[in-house]
Amino acid sequence: MLMQPGFPDDTPVPAERRRAWQAFFEAHAAVVPALEAEMEAEHGLTLRWYDVLLHLAAAPGTKLPMHELSDAVVITKGGLTKLVDRMAGAGLVARAAVPGNRRVTLVKLTPHGLETYRRARLTHHRGVAQHFLDHLSDHERAVLEAALVRVRDAARPRRPDVSPAS
């Protein structure tokens, strides 16, 4: 989707350059659903749920305030409220209050959530290797990482918060 398989084009030279974008876009469209399907089949998790478990597992005390978690997994606050509802219903996470502050709600990994994450991580790592890394030479991998980090940093939405100085 979103790419010309080789259609007539008003701008013949740029078209050749754009094949790199096409490969990039289509590789993503091919690999991510594969990872998603494996995660679903082996653990009954969407990639989104896995992502939540990942960030909580990595957080100090395996817990995070709602607004930080929504930032980490790139979802709106409203969306996260409902997502946490569902995951709590599944016993993977639980809400907790923070003592001194009654505004924030913490989301904490349950033991079951942590164990689920540990098992799901194997599936994810295997999938990434199998569907992506194993098809790249060491040189390609190095080039790709360097180039795409540059692309990512250039395009990344800037935090509209404090100015970089000060």
Task: Give every strand in the sheet of 63-65, ordered side by side.
Answer: 63-65, 101-109, 93-98
- Decide: 125 and 117 in contact? Cβ < 8 Å: no
d(CA 164, CA 44): 41
Whichever of 41 and 97 has its CB closer to a second copy, that residue is 41
CA distances from 135 to 22, 23, 93, 131 (A): 18, 14, 36, 7
DSSP per-residue letters across 30-45:
HHHHHHHHHHHHHHS-
Rounded (10°) CA dihedral 55, 45, 124, 56:
10
Minimum CB separation of residue 153 from a second copy in Å reads 8
Partner touching 87 among DNA, a second copy, none, CB below 5 to 8 Å by kind: none
Per CB under 8 A, contacts with a second copy among 121-140 are 125, 128-129, 131-133, 135-137, 139-140
Task: Please say which residue, 31 or 94, places its beta carbon nearer to a second copy.
Answer: 31
Residues 6+ apart with CB under 8 A from 139: none
Whichever of 86 and 101 has its CB closer to a second copy, that residue is: 86
- Check residue 21 for interaction with a second copy (CB under 8 A): yes
Kindly write down the DSSP assignment for every residue of 55-83, as one continuous string: HHHHSGGGEEEHHHHHHHTT--HHHHHHH
Smallest gap from residue 76 Cβ to DNA (A): 3
Q: How far is the CB of 6 from DNA (least distance, A)?
A: 24
Give residues in contact with DNA (CB under 7 A). 46, 48, 65-67, 70, 74-86, 95, 101-106
Q: Closer to DNA at the Cβ: 14 or 60? A: 60
- Interacting residue ranges for a second copy, rule: CB under 8 A: 1-2, 4-5, 7-8, 11, 14, 17-21, 23-31, 33-34, 47, 50-51, 54, 57-58, 72-74, 125, 128-129, 131-133, 135-137, 139-152, 154-157
